[in-house]
Amino acid sequence: MAEATERPARKATVGPVRAAIRQRLLDGTYRLGTVLPSQRSLAVEFNASSTLIAKALRPFKDAGVLRAHPPSGTVVVGRIDPTTPVPQEAADRRALEVAKRKELTERTRRVIRERLANGQYGPGSQIPTRSALCREFGVPASVLRAALRPLHNDGTLYSVRGLGTYVTEQKRDPRPPSYTPSGNGSQTTSTRS
């Protein structure tokens, strides 16, 4: 007769492990100055890999609550605020930073387009330098470049190396000169004299 084999317990994921460590920091299990169990011991306790334990501890280290002190281990060096949520992983923080950067880019582009539309930056005029615009909008150069790129691509702005960025005199029509639209949607060609 075949023996019944015991199924291994399900492997832990980083979220619940991080939440358990946070709870231990809050309830005093891990007090200020306490050396945490080794990552290997925590891995066995949570049925997780050492890599997962390291990922779970990383946000607490980033927040200054935990610090690695070789060879003794990871030590509690700060307090955790009970009102703050479980710290985010670096990837989550990066996603928030990307979203914030995208919002800054769109806001900067919108303001520049408004200035172009209301004539503050008129045809043929030079817009302020990139460094001046970065200071004015409080954005890094990479955000300003991203905001200006579509305006360069659509022909609204052009740059002259060493001189600056200018508003195009007259927006070029991408259609051939012989094309004139008619009211019924068909194309009518005109002859030039």
Separation in Å, CA 183 to CA 56, 157, 175, 186, 188: 65, 31, 17, 8, 10
pLDDT grade, residue 193 (50/70/90)?
very low
| pTM (whole model) above 0.75 | no
Contact 139, 106 (CB under 8 A): no
Separation in Å, CA 187 to CA 162, 171, 174, 179, 193: 43, 21, 15, 7, 19
Separation in Å, CA 179 to CA 18, 182, 190, 192: 65, 10, 7, 11
Encode burial over 122-154: b for 16+ CB neighbours within 10 A, e otherwise. Answer: eeeeebeeeeebbeebebeeebbebbbeebeee
pLDDT of residue 7: 47
- The domain in which residue 53 lies consists of 14-76
Claim to verify: residue 152 and residue 98 sit in the same structural domain: yes
* CA 10/CA 124 separation, integer angstroms: 67
Claim to verify: residue 28 and residue 62 sit in the same structural domain: yes
pLDDT of residue 99: 81
Claim to verify: residue 161 and residue 107 sit in the same structural domain: yes
pLDDT in tens, 107-141: 999 999 999 999 999 999 999 999 999 999 888 99
Claim to verify: residue 39 and residue 62 sit in the same structural domain: yes
Claim to verify: residue 104 and residue 159 sit in the same structural domain: yes
pLDDT grade, residue 177 (50/70/90)?
low
Residue 178 lies in a domain: no
Residue 9 lies in a domain: no
pLDDT grade, residue 6 (50/70/90)?
low
pLDDT of residue 178: 59
Claim to verify: residue 132 and residue 67 sit in the same structural domain: no
Number of domains in the chain: 2
pLDDT in tens, 25-80: 999 899 988 899 999 999 999 999 999 999 889 888 888 889 988 888 899 988 88
